[in-house]
């Protein structure tokens, strides 16, 4: 039986939620393991969320881990998840909803609420805007961190009168103070109090398993709220509230859009019989837009500073959703690949040691010879994705390194024999053949594919460039100057970029998604 790897943030609340999903899955007889990860939202605590310009700040790290094959499912607070998921990721379950309300935690008593001056802490633009709409003379200060640290900050700051939390979070961790009250008048974030599970779109087994723990009523209500949010084109940087609930076979909905300072507020209410509820989100969003919402949303978008980024590899639609909202991304393939004809006698002959450093080489090999005719004994490669492709389409990999230099250093120590066959490009800048030759290992190079420069001249406003190989660096420089920031997929690429660019950053993992995360973190 497959063990389901459950990805989650590593905060106490996120782990609690992951354990709830784990308990429900294991109750059905499935084996699971929890894989905790730290998100950008957990790492950057010195700015309000709405100033970071990121939709899905708490979810992107898990998206990347899933796309990289490190986890099978991800457990999220549904209110943190962007309304449009990456192309290859889908919602597979929503667990039964907890308390949907916001909660005020205060110091001594609530007398300050009737006074002109008071200080309230929150990191949520929605809570900030609704509070200022009701109490326009009060001061709002930023409050970030996990639930425990936020409670501690409230206690430590003597000038603060109170802070706003999600009631579900306090309840789940059994941290609700005696001096706290539900804010019944405040409309919560869309899907607040709900736990969502995502998985890869093509993983039919996992999707079927997770459907067994899906709570249909919660799914109906949160889907309406998130559709309303999506139709208003909002994210965590817009002050939008929405709540749907079912009572007596009727779906009731209320939504709100405010200006960031709370001075403007547009509300909508709608009720429909269960079964006739599918147009509620459209009706409500149209109402908001027709009553001044479009201008309000346009004003909010103008306050977000944009940064321009160029990728030397074509970015997919799924990858576009991983970028921060404040990034404008252009991309094209700075190099073009052409697969070569490889002598079939070479591919069908027994080969002791094979080196493959790219997926292009894998494609070239299989383009010339079927898998069953290959007689490779020991296969060595570079990169996790290349390894995965080789093992899916050719055979077992004996050793995989993160870059060509690391692989060469490994082979110098542990290679069986003194010869290797290296399937490579006609154009490359890696150190592998040189290192091996200097250590008396004979390298037979097989030109599996050709690399051709095909870069474009970029807009002068581009602030940073993403590189994926030394060749993309060289291709880019054929038509552009090294005046921007270079974000690189690995150390070999970074070494080449360092010859020309003043600022060079290297991704932790050699994947496109990891380079995207590197860019996102830089522009926070």
Residues belonging to the active site: 80
CA 94 to CA 69: how far, in whole Å?
22
* CB neighbour list of residue 184: distance below 8 Å, 6 or more residues apart: 101
CA 22 to CA 19: how far, in whole Å?
5
Give the C-alpha distances (Å, rounded to integers) separating 255 from 6, 85, 189, 235.
Answer: 33, 22, 9, 14
Q: Which helix (H) or strand (E) holds 286?
A: helix 280-288
Pairing of strands 485-488, 504-506: parallel
CA 171 to CA 181: how far, in whole Å?
12
Give the C-alpha distances (Å, rounded to integers) separating 391 from 84, 380, 394.
Answer: 32, 11, 6
Give the C-alpha distances (Å, rounded to integers) separating 366 from 212, 361, 407, 447, 450.
Answer: 40, 9, 23, 14, 16
Give the C-alpha distances (Å, rounded to integers) separating 335 from 318, 389, 428, 445, 477.
Answer: 21, 21, 12, 21, 12
> What's the gap between Cα 173 and its chain centre?
26
- Number of residues assigned to the chain: 524
Q: Reduced to 3 states, what is the DSSP secondary structure of residue 402?
A: coil
CA 220 to CA 462: how far, in whole Å?
43
Cross-strand bridge partners of residue 425? 449
Q: Which helix (H) or strand (E) holds 465?
A: strand 464-467
CA 195 to CA 166: how far, in whole Å?
13
What's the angle, vertex CA 384, arms to CA 382 and CA 388, rounded to 5? 105
Q: Give the HSE-up count for residue 5: Cα atoms under 13 Å, Cβ half-sphere.
A: 13
How many CB atoms are closer than 10 A to CB 441? Answer: 18
CA 452 to CA 447: how far, in whole Å?
14
- Burial class of residue 153 (count of CB atoms within 10 Å of its CB; 0-12, 13-18, 19+): middle
Q: Give the HSE-up count for residue 321: Cα atoms under 13 Å, Cβ half-sphere.
A: 19
């Amino acid at each position: 039986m497959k063990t389901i790897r459950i990805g989650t943030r590593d905060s106490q609340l996120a782990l609690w939620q992951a354990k709830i999903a784990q308990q429900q899955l294991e109750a059905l007889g499935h084996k699971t393991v929890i894989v905790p990860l730290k998100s950008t939202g957990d790492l950057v605590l010195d700015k309000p969320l709405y100033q970071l310009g990121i939709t899905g700040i708490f979810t992107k790290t898990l998206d990347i881990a899933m796309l990289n094959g490190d986890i099978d499912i991800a457990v999220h607070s549904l209110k943190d998840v962007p309304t449009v998921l990456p192309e290859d990721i889908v919602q597979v379950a929503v667990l039964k909803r907890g308390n949907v309300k916001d909660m005020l935690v205060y110091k001594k008593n609530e007398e300050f609420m009737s006074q002109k001056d008071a200080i309230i802490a929150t990191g949520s633009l929605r809570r900030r805007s609704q509070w200022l709409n009701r109490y326009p003379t009060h001061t709002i200060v930023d409050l970030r961190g996990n639930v425990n640290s936020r409670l501690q900050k409230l206690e430590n700051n003597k000038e603060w009168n109170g802070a706003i939390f999600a009631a579900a979070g306090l309840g789940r961790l059994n941290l609700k103070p005696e001096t706290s009250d539900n804010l019944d008048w405040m409309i919560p974030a869309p899907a607040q109090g709900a736990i969502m599970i995502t998985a890869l779109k093509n993983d039919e087994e996992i999707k079927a398993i997770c459907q067994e723990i899906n709570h249909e009523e919660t799914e109906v209500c949160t889907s309406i709220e998130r559709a309303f949010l999506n139709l208003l084109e909002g994210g965590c940087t817009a002050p939008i509230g929405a709540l749907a609930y079912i009572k007596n076979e009727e779906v009731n909905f209320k939504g709100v859009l405010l200006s960031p300072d709370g001075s403007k507020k547009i509300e909508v209410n709608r009720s429909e019989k269960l079964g006739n509820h599918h147009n509620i989100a459209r009706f409500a969003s149209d109402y908001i837009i027709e009553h001044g919402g479009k201008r309000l949303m346009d004003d909010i978008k103008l306050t977000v500073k944009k940064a321009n980024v160029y990728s030397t590899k074509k970015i997919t639609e799924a990858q576009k959703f991983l970028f921060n909202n404040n990034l404008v991304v252009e991309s094209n393939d700075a190099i073009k690949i052409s697969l070569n004809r490889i002598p079939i006698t070479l591919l069908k002959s027994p080969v002791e040691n094979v080196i493959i450093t790219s997926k292009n080489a894998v494609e070239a090999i299989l383009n010339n010879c079927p898998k069953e005719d290959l007689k490779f004994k020991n296969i060595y490669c570079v990169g996790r994705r290349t390894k995965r492709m080789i093992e899916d389409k050719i055979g077992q990999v004996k050793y995989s390194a993160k870059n060509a230099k690391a692989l060469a250093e490994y082979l110098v120590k542990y290679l069986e024999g003194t010869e290797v066959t290296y399937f490579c490009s006609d154009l490359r800048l890696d150190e592998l053949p040189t290192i091996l030759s200097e250590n008396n290992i004979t390298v037979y190079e097989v030109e599996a594919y050709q690399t051709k420069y095909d870069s474009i001249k970029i807009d002068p406003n581009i602030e940073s460039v993403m590189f994926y190989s030394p060749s993309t660096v060289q291709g880019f420089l054929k038509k552009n100057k090294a005046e921007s920031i270079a974000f690189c997929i690995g150390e070999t690429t970074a070494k080449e970029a360092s010859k020309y660019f003043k600022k060079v950053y290297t991704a932790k993992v050699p994947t496109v998604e990891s380079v995207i995360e590197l860019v996102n973190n830089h522009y926070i």
